Chains A and B, each alone.
Chain A
Amino acid sequence: MRFRLGSREYAGDARLVMAIVNRTTDSFYDRGLTWEDTAAYARVRQVVAEGADLVDIGGIKAAPGAEVPVEEELRRVVPFVEGLRAEFPDLTISVDTYRAVVADAVLAAGADVINDAWGGWDPEVPAVVAAHGAGLVLTHTGGQVVRTRPHRVEYDDVLASVVDSLTSQAEGALAVGVSRERIVIDPAHDFGKNTRHSLECTRRLGELVALGWPVLVSLSNKDFVGESLGRDVGERVPGTLATTAISAWLGAHVYRVHEVRETRDVLDMVSVISGDLAPMRTTRGLA
């Protein structure tokens, strides 16, 4: 299996770091840390230096909160994408949005991928992506309304729901002309899921990998990690990294994260153990 993101082509054994860069005032983890332009550009420069393969820019926090009108979302992300494209001509830029009109604007501004994090809420997104020859991340929310929390959601088989939804979204994307090698699937931990659902998605990730699409996982500091360990936001990095290692061993390809350097090391360590990557430098016992 090979896939493409931006100008890069990857093999099936690739393990990529997608660095989260929020252009929000209220995201749960960074709480507006990269709201200002200066901080946002500094964050991108830092994550690129730390080994991020791509960045994911978001203008609206996922959880419920203040309404962000289209014009405001555009104002938050479009000039930033333009600026990043100018400064980093080869960097793969993803934008996290559920609105086709925003997707169209950021792709015109130089973005490469749309991370449709609300499971195809706006049915026009795939056609917009296709028109730009861009990449598309498909997600499973179980039909959850955008920016709402799951409440007493049950599935007969959460993985079956994930597989059905993502397979059907992928077929739909192909049908409107999205390139097969630019489609990525994401089970979307915590989206329309309680902690046990997200844990099952992790435990059975191999079933998703077996579908043959590149798999993105977004685990970073999420509630299912916190609830698993009894850790508040801010204390979830070890749990996130453990989940990252297991997901990598099970074959996921793209990791959407806050902690780039740590994730890079975890992914590279898994790749070295699995034999997909040579160790960096070996002299022990060999002098």
Chain B
Amino acid sequence: MIAALAVVPATPLLLAENVGRVDPVPELRSAARAAVGSVAAQADRLVVITASDVDPRHSRPPLGARVARELLPREADEVVVVPWDAPVDVCRGLGSEVAAAALDPAARTALVVVADGCATRTEKAPGHLDPRAVQVDADWLLALGCDESRGDLRAESPAPMRAWTGEELGPATPIDPRALLALDPGLAGELLFHGRATLQVLAGALAEDDGSATARGALTAYEVMVGDPFGVRYVVLAAH
């Protein structure tokens, strides 16, 4: 069974090799480590899901796989790498395979999803400013059960990493695979929304045939940190 889920961004800032004398993302790093560590501690099997690199000029594993390896207390049992531009049905199919491999009710599987949102949230963002990014990021975060329209959660970009309290998260809402599967690959490509395919693999792992959440995949977020300090939407989330 799929018992737990962690979502962390695929930023190379989380790799130790990129830390200088001053850590540019101390809150992100500690939250990501805590989220991944807490779900790993509950699991018999660890499955990492991430996307291929958009512009690989190297022969290393994809960035998301290296970030997961750095954050995880042990090696993952399986690493699923989806092409970053895979069509929705391919993502969903990969997700179904993840679900099938996790059917054994006696083996608790934790998913570590390494994915981030749009890299076009500010003028200084990697992809410059695209005003459509805010809504797209809000959509996928809402699909994960976190509503940015509540209270003052919708911050001006760039926003430092900030943990959302239980009160801000509101009533627990299970992850909605159907909404994740509705993310548009074309628009995601334009917004440098690198995590789109990865999130749709997650959706495939949690969805019934009609796209609704399955009993095995009714995960609910309980720890969430969100920000875009460099114009890229980072989400750290733990769910069970």
Give the interface of A toward B (CB within 8 A): 277-283, 285-287
Contacts and interface: CB of A to CB of B under 8 A. Distances in A.
A209 B21 CA distance: 27
Given A283-B13, A286-B12, A278 B21 contact: yes
B59 interface: no
Interface residues of B, number: 16
A285 B13 CA distance: 10
Contacts of B19: 278, 282
Contact of B24 (A277, A278, A281, A285): A281
Contacts of A281: 20-24
B232 interface: yes
B73 interface: no
Contact of B20 (A278, A285, A287): A278
Given A287-B230, A287-B231, A287-B232, A280 B12 contact: no
A126 to B, nearest CB: 38
Given A287-B125, A287-B126, A280 B21 contact: yes
A281 B22 CA distance: 5
A226 to B, nearest CB: 35
Nearest to B231: A287
Contacts, number: 34
Given A286-B12, A287-B11, A279 B20 contact: yes
A277 B231 CA distance: 28
Nearest to A279: B20
A287 B158 CA distance: 12
Contacts of A280: 20-22
Main secondary structure of the interface of A (DSSP, over half): loop
Interface string B207-233: 000000000000000000000001110
Interface of B: 11-13, 18-24, 119, 125-126, 230-232
Contacts of A287: 11, 13, 119, 125-126, 230-232
B54 to A, nearest CB: 13
CB-CB nearest 10 A-B residue pairs: A287-B230, A279-B20, A281-B22, A286-B12, A278-B20, A281-B20, A287-B232, A283-B24, A282-B20, A280-B21
A242 B156 CA distance: 44
A280 B24 CA distance: 9
A279 B20 CA distance: 5
Contacts of B13: 283, 286-287
A279 B12 CA distance: 16
A282 B24 CA distance: 7
B168 to A, nearest CB: 25
19 contacts: A277-B21, A278-B20, A280-B20, A280-B22, A281-B20, A281-B22, A281-B23, A281-B24, A282-B19, A282-B20, A283-B24, A283-B230, A286-B11, A286-B12, A286-B13, A286-B18, A287-B125, A287-B126, A287-B231
B12 to A, nearest CB: 5
B211 to A, nearest CB: 32
A287 B126 CA distance: 7
Contacts of B126: 285, 287
A156 to B, nearest CB: 46
Contacts of A277: 21
Contacts of B20: 278-282
Contacts of B119: 287
Contacts of A285: 126
A281 B11 CA distance: 15
Give the one of A281, A285, A286 with max B CB within 10 A: A286
